[in-house]
Structure 1
Amino acid sequence: MMSSVDYQKAVIWSLSKFSQQKKAADFFDSLRTGLCVYSPGAQSLYGKYDVYWGTSQREKLVVMPDFAQHLWTIQRLDLSTARQTGIYLVPGEIIGRDGFYLSVRDSSKKRILVPAKTGFSKIARLFEKKIGQPFCPIVTRGDLREFRQSHPYLHLHHIDITRIPVVSDLTKRDVLDMSRQKLSSLLSEGLN
């Protein structure tokens, strides 16, 4: 049972409306090496965390920081400046392939799927060129979703590190570095 302090630090997704709850939990768990998770309640960004599902309440996916890896947690962080990107990370099985894909809009605003490794590289270059800042993806509560009641996917948020309020430049750099390390780890695992 979680203490009230632990509960405040947790990021909890309700899976009650998911028809494929185990698939959603497994999908999210398979990506935990590559994405940071933000807890609005604790105002903390987790780089190393544990994912629990099917314990006391099967309809909830609980993400808790790995307390043994405290250097991978950035606390007292107001990420109200994090913005939805409209970029979705989806399992390749949606199109009968292995790996992961990004669902993005092309120049005509039509949704297309691109291999995740290629897609993340292009998005990073696009952010640098058009927005003048590094791509800093995270997920937070509500980002785990289900497509046509059969496949889970993740919506990605982006942190504009220049707009994070009331933290030092060093902390802003830590946020960016942690996000980049996680994404690099995910890409090196052979996403596709």
Structure 2
Amino acid sequence: MSSNENPDLFWDLSAISNKQLASNFFKKVASAFCVYSPSVEKIYSNFEVILPRDSNSGLIVLPNPYAFHDMFSFINNASIKQTGIMLHPGESFGHQGGLYLSLPMRGNKRSKMLEFVKGINLINNTYKAKPGNQLFLPVLVNGDLREFKAAHPYLHLHRIDVAELGNLSQFERQDIQDSIYHRFKQIDKLLVAPTA
């Protein structure tokens, strides 16, 4: 499937000043995420990140067309939730690698910045305490790659709520949950290496 057939696969970076830094960051961490396409209601867990030679204004998320078992269909938009959680490269804060999470705080407009392991432990404990002992299942959606002051890239993290997938069987929901959860666990390998 090309970006012409699915516009969600072309990520426009024209509003980002340091496109190379943003692209490098995305390519580095993309292996730990699944990508959701709202226009076709699919989640992709097997894809490449392509930087077009004829354009420096964006990147392409190119799903593996032969990996049908790594595509999940009939994922309704209502199941994809905004979290307000941001993923940052350590370099944005003067570190030689690693990742940081910016977490929204209730009753306070300011967010809380935590080193990744501490942040993800807090997030996981928060979700497990919710009814149904939920898992935090992050997915990326076109537009989630952004930048803040001094042209530092970051990723806004969406999540999927598999309880909203009432049109799918329990087996299908479990398969989606397991795929996203195990892919996200791969982010551990990125914590010791520079992200840009």
Contact 1:104 1:112 in 2 (8 A): yes
Q: State TM-score, norm by structure 1.
A: 0.89
Residues 181 and 47 of structure 1: is their aligned pair in 2 closer, same or farther, counting only changes over 3 Å? same
Q: CA deviation at 1:59?
A: 0.8
Q: CA deviation at 1:175?
A: 1.4
Identity of aligned residues (%): 30
Residues 3 and 123 of structure 1: is their aligned pair in 2 closer, same or farther, counting only changes over 3 Å? closer
* In 1: Cα distance, 2:76 partner to 2:53 partner: 30
Moved more, 127-136 or 7-16: 7-16
Match of 1:114 in 2: 114
* In 2: Cα distance, 1:154 partner to 1:45 partner: 17
Contact 1:15 1:60 in 2 (8 A): yes
Q: Which amino acid aligns with 1:59?
A: S
Match of 1:85 in 2: 83
Contact 1:9 1:44 in 2 (8 A): no
Q: CA deviation at 1:112?
A: 2.2
CA displacement 1:7-43 (0-9 Å, x = unmatched):
3285221111110111111111101111111011221
Matched ranges for 1:43-122 at <5 A: 43-97=41-95, 98-106=97-105, 109=108, 110-122=110-122
Contact 1:79 1:164 in 2 (8 A): no
* In 1: Cα distance, 2:87 partner to 2:14 partner: 21
* Secondary structure of the structure 2 residue equivalent to 1:61: strand
* Secondary structure of the structure 2 residue equivalent to 1:156: strand
Match of 2:155 in 1: 154
Q: Which amino acid aligns with 1:22?
A: Q
Q: Which amino acid aligns with 1:44?
A: K
Matched ranges for 1:30-45 at <5 A: 30-45=28-43
Contact 2:32 2:185 in 1 (8 A): yes
Q: State TM-score, norm by structure 2.
A: 0.87
Q: CA deviation at 1:171?
A: 1.4
Contact 2:78 2:164 in 1 (8 A): no
Q: Which amino acid aligns with 1:162?
A: A
* In 1: Cα distance, 2:117 partner to 2:17 partner: 29
Residues 56 and 75 of structure 1: is their aligned pair in 2 closer, same or farther, counting only changes over 3 Å? farther
Moved more, 84-93 or 59-68: 59-68
Q: Which amino acid aligns with 1:50?
A: E
* In 2: Cα distance, 1:144 partner to 1:104 partner: 16
Matched ranges for 1:120-139 at <5 A: 120-131=120-131, 132-139=133-140
* In 1: Cα distance, 2:147 partner to 2:13 partner: 9
Q: What 5-or-longer segments of structure 1 have no aligned partner? A: none
* Secondary structure of the structure 1 residue equivalent to 2:171: helix
